[in-house]
Amino acid sequence: MTEHDGRLTVVGLGPGDAATCTPAVLDALGAATDLVGYGPYLDQVPASVGGTRHPSDNREEAARARAALDLAAEGRQVAVVSSGDPGVFAMASAICEQLDDPAVRDRWADVDVDVLPGVTAAQAAAARVGAPLGHDFCVVSLSDNLKPWAVVEQRVVAAAAADFVIALYNPWSRRRPWQFGRAMELVGEHRAPTTPVIAATDVGRPGESVDVVELKDATALDVGMRTVVLVGSSTTRVVERADGRTVVYTPRHYPAGT
Ligand SMILES: C[S@@+](CC[C@H](N)C(=O)[O-])C[C@H]1O[C@@H](n2cnc3c(N)ncnc32)[C@H](O)[C@@H]1O
């Protein structure tokens, strides 16, 4: 790399709490001349981190990715900021999509691009209650912004039928008030009504809440834009400990012959 070469690093801040942001991410933020991201995620970056901040709206991911790559092509050290993990429904793919676009990708041929992982919302939520992701699980976004709703339904049904624990991201938005209920209905065709469901909102942030209910009551959960939902498999268990605390976990073994 010459002194004029720019670098773009896509970083994951973790769910919110600064303590879950990795040292590698903090180093990359400290080295950045420019920080690019959705405004509320940039606000999650410690105030002590320098660099020019370039906030943008949540729906401008392609434009944000191109702007960040352009800055790096000018020789800047750019950190593109995501919450959680940048590779999970976030900016790492948005950057790669631009690098894959034959119409524009040559502009950024000399830019070094790195991705630094972070703790994703499902991991952070799981850790709050025990180990619900302790066996096979999958992750589905209920958003139909970037894929048709028919595909969302197909995947939820397939995951439920295959007895995966299912982590549901983007379970609700003002424009999509009914999809979470529909997803629970579809899961209910393959799971017992007593299956544990965890709804975790603002994990690692002020106002965090974590609720554990049974699948039959899941539609009454207060699910919002900053909620991740974990739906247990047939083997996920709720354990009441002697002190009244609850542990939810999925055993590592699966019954033979099922
Ligand atoms: C666009 S996705 C981004 C996911 C993020 N890259 C990650 O790895 O966690 C946004 C969704 O992530 C989930 N989410 C992100 N941060 C969260 C948090 N602190 N608590 C609960 N859910 C969160 C919610 O489901 C939200 O709708």
Distance CA 41, CA 83 (A): 6
Q: Is 252 helix (H, G, I), strand (E, B) or coil?
A: coil
- Ligand 1 atom at minimal distance to the Cα of residue 170: 27
Q: Is the pLDDT of residue 59 over 80?
A: no
Tell me the per-residue pLDDT of 77-108, one tens digit each, with 9 for 90 and over.
999 999 999 999 999 999 999 999 999 999 99
C-beta 146 within 6 A of ligand 1: no
Give me ligand 1 centre to Cα 61, in Å. Answer: 16
- Ligand 1 atom at minimal distance to the Cα of residue 205: 19
C-beta 13 within 6 A of ligand 1: no
C-beta 225 within 6 A of ligand 1: yes
Q: Is the pLDDT of residue 148 over 80?
A: yes
Using only C-alpha atoms, the chain has a radius of gyration, in whole angstroms, of: 20
Distance of alpha carbon 248 from the chain centroid = 21
Alpha helices in the chain (DSSP H): 23-31, 39-43, 61-73, 91-99, 121-129, 149-161, 179-188
154 within 8 A of 117, measured Cβ to Cβ: no
The residue among 209, 242, 8, 243 whose CA lies nearest residue 116 is 8
Q: Is the pLDDT of residue 232 over 90?
A: yes
211-240: average pLDDT: 97
**pTM of the predicted model as reported, rounded to 2 decimal places:** 0.95
CA-based diameter of the chain, in Å? Answer: 62
Match 């025990």 to its residue by tokens.
130
